Amino acid sequence: MKRIYLVTLCAAIFALGSCTSYEVKEYGPVSFEVALEGGEEMLFEGPNEAITTIAFNPEEYGFTKESVGGMRLKSITLNTTNEEGFNVFENLKVEVSSENTEMLVIGVMNTSPDGKSVIIEGLEEAKIEKFNEVSEFFLHISGNLTKDLESAFTITGEFTLNVESSEK
């Protein structure tokens, strides 16, 4: 009999916890600028990465940090003035991390990007969590160069996140 009560109590607690309803809000657009590591130095064929720190201030977009349940990348636009453009990459990957979270892939372009501007859509299954506990996070952009570059590769752009907020 005690077992039935315990199972019922656990089911009720689980049901109440899963009843929190979230409204999707947009965080962004957030602008950034970053250079592939190596900066002005020569960049070598193969994997290369750029990292920048992004302040996390949902209050600027109309909701509190405490209300954030999770986020997903809506899209990110990457631009470069490098004469080679994004054609020198086999692929591009966008990841985020923070002091409280592991690295998470949130967007991928598996084909050779073309031109000096690309848009990467967020991965639906990549839910960013625990960012309601941080004041900043790290945006990582990486890709495989198909050849050596003798000049810096700077990337500017902006991204928007879809945020689950408990605020209505």
Q: What is the pLDDT of residue 12?
A: 45
**For residue 128, what pLDDT is reported?**
93
Q: Using CA atoms, how far apart are residues 43 and 151, in angstroms rounded to an integer?
A: 7
The whole-angstrom separation of Cα 32 and Cα 109 is 19
Structure tokens given for 132: 């309601």
Distance in angstroms (rounded) separating the CA atoms of residues 161 and 91: 22
Q: Are 138 and 98 in contact (CB under 8 A)?
A: yes
Tokens coding 42: 């020569």
State which amino acid sits at residue 130: K
Contacts (Cβ under 8 Å, ≥6 apart) of 126? 72, 73, 104, 105, 106, 107
What pLDDT is recorded for position 38?
Answer: 62
User: What are the tokens at 138?
Assistant: 């790290």
pTM equals 0.83
Between CA 154 and CA 97, with CA 163 as vertex, the angle to 5 degrees is 45
Q: Give CA–CA dist 111/119, Å, rounded.
A: 12
Residues 150 and 124: their CA atoms lie apart, in Å, by: 37
Q: What is the pLDDT along the chain (168 residues), one digit of tens a residue?
A: 555 555 454 444 444 444 557 889 999 999 999 999 865 568 899 999 999 999 999 999 989 999 998 999 999 999 999 999 999 999 999 999 999 899 999 999 988 788 999 999 999 999 999 888 899 999 999 999 999 998 889 999 999 999 998 887
